[in-house]
Amino acid sequence: MSKLIIMRHGQSIWNQRNLFTGWVDVPLSEKGVEEALNAGKEIMDEPIDIVYVSTLIRSQTTAVLALLSHHTQKTPVMQHPHNEKESKWGKVHSDKTEKEIIPMIPAWELNERMYGDLQGLNKAETAEKYGKEQVHIWRRSFDVAPPHGESLKMTSERTIPYFKERILPHLEKGENVLISAHGNSLRSIVMFIENLSGEEVVSLEIPTGKPIIYEYNQGTWSKS
């Protein structure tokens, strides 16, 4: 049996300001930092062999802060599998030190849903301009995308294949995985794990900085 921990990043500055964020690479707020540290205390005794994050700083910061409290005291070390120079020049040349790190893999496939023309706009002001019903459709429907952006369906079409191809094999080998990502990319993963329909997944709420733990055993999932 292995464990999968999924965790939405802590509150970002734009979450705090009620702005559509999407792929805009904004950092955590002070509250977000606290949420990440508190999340770390919740998972400090959970086994973690490898960490997956998005390419966005709020996801990566959340993972690093959460791992500060981990009982192993291992160092999270960002990997650069798609950059030959960074991979070569960042190589660890000590077997002892190598055993004291937790590899952290960035993947754009785990990025937040791209909100297109809404990115940077205030959510309340956007609702006043386009109408609450239209904005609700853009935010909560499964297959309707905002202008020049992604729908949740489109997000799932990049997130789920990556999860199945890159992350699931670790669990099948008995390794334990932490994913620090975003509300919509994690919704997609939960949709796969819990076999949810498009109608069911849009009502799924994933709070910031709150770990969710699944146990995986020979193709079967259960929430811990």
Does 112 qualify as catalytic in the annotation? yes
Cα distance between the two ends of the chain: 12
Residue 11: name the closest of 84, 26, 3, 205 by CA: 26
Q: Which two tokens stand for residue 92?
A: 């660890």
User: Which residue in 35, 70, 109, 112 is the catalytic one?
Assistant: 112
Is residue 32 within 8 Å of 10, Cβ to Cβ?
Answer: yes
- Nearest partner of 51 among 32, 31, 26, 70, judged by Cα: 70
Alpha carbons within 13 angstroms on the beta-carbon side of residue 207 total: 7
Catalytic site includes residue 148: no
Catalytic, out of 9, 70, 170, 182: 9
Q: How far apart are CA 126 and CA 157, in angstroms?
A: 27
What amino acid positions are annotated as catalytic residues? 9, 112
